[in-house]
Amino acid sequence: MLTRSQVMLIAAMMLSLHAAANAPAVSPQRTILQRHEQSEVAGKDIVIGTATLPSGTAIGFHTHPGDEIGYVLKGTLILKTRGQPDRILSAGDSFFNARGAIHSLAAAPGKDGGAAVSTWIVDQGKDLATPVP
């Protein structure tokens, strides 16, 4: 037979597990800051945006319909580009992804996450990013 304190402990543990299961998942946050038609270049937009990656998160593999150039604002990130070695990027580092390059960006394990800002020159009317399995 369980004692009253054992029952209370089990109840507290169950409530804790329930709260953890219902807590919102932490995920990367992408924010588009501006999108403009490129002057004198028909069919192209210039887009600038940020990505904030909490510890333990990643933006999955994807492509862009144009070139991307980025800069790490804070933290340590890992740029994974298919067919190339992973690149460890720290605050102050820059990176480039050519049109169609399959890549992902992850917060380095055991760190506090990170943030980057990117600029893309992309085809008008297309999604900024297309997920790739």
Q: What structural domains and CATH numbers belong to the chain?
A: 29-131 (2.60.120.10)
Per-residue pLDDT reduced to its tens digit, 55-100:
999 999 999 999 999 999 999 999 999 999 999 999 999 999 999 9
Which two three-digit tokens encode residue 59? 């933006």
Per-residue pLDDT reduced to its tens digit, 11-62:
555 555 454 445 456 899 999 999 999 999 999 999 999 999 999 999 999 9
pLDDT of residue 20: 46
CB 105, CB 31: distance < 8 Å: no
Give the residue-averaged pLDDT of 120-130: 94
Q: Could you give the 3-state DSSP secondary structure of residue 22?
A: helix
Rounded to whole angstroms, the Cα distance separating 10 from 13 reads 5
CB 71, CB 116: distance < 8 Å: yes
Query: Which backbone phi and psi does 116 adopt, to 5 degrees?
Result: -140, 160
Q: Which contiguous run of DSSP H or E holds residue 48?
A: strand 44-53
pTM exceeds 0.85:
no
- 36 — alpha (psi -120 to 50), left (phi > 0) or beta? beta
Per-residue pLDDT reduced to its tens digit, 36-45:
999 999 999 9
Confidence of residue 7 (pLDDT cuts 50, 70, 90): very low
pLDDT of residue 113: 94
